[in-house]
């Protein structure tokens, strides 16, 4: 059974390849949804997939790519939307 999360990542997370690597990791962990930059400098992610895969994916989000600095990660469980694939918006 799939789970779905809204994730907001803040810190030094824009202009460091965060969205690119989020797509790469989402595909690696079979996560569907999207990632986008927000005007406040954070990164917003909607992710859904197997609960165990989401745990691994969110653990990666807490670190991000090597150039990022994640100061805060907010996760909220949401209804499954039925996304196919993972994209940048």
Does the pTM of the predicted model rise above 0.85? yes
**Spatial CA neighbour of 70 closest among 60, 85, 55:** 60
Question: Structurally, how many domains does the chain consist of?
Answer: 1
Beta-carbon-side half-sphere exposure of residue 30 (alpha carbons within 13 Å): 7
* Residue 18 structural domain: 3-88
Task: Indicate the DSSP class of residue 17.
Answer: S
What CATH number has the domain bearing residue 77?
Answer: 3.30.70.100
Task: Catalytic residue, from 6, 8, 15, 19: name it.
Answer: 19
Quote the tokens at residue 61.
């989000």
42-64: per-residue pLDDT in tens?
A: 999 999 999 999 999 999 999 99
Share of the chain above pLDDT 90, in %: 99
Task: Catalytic residue, from 6, 15, 37, 72: name it.
Answer: 37
CB 54 within 8 A of CB 71: no
Residue 15 annotated in active site: no
Quote the tokens at residue 57.
């994916």
Residue 19 annotated in active site: yes
């Amino acid at each position: 059974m799939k789970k779905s999360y809204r994730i907001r990542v803040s810190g030094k997370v824009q202009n460091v390849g965060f969205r690119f690597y989020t797509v790469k990791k989402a595909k690696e962990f079979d996560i569907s949804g999207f990632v986008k930059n927000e005007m406040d400098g954070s990164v917003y992610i909607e992710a859904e997939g197997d609960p165990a895969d989401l745990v691994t994916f969110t653990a990666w989000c807490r670190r991000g790519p090597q150039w990022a600095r994640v100061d805060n990660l907010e996760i909220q469980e949401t209804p499954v939307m039925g996304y196919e694939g993972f994209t940048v918006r």
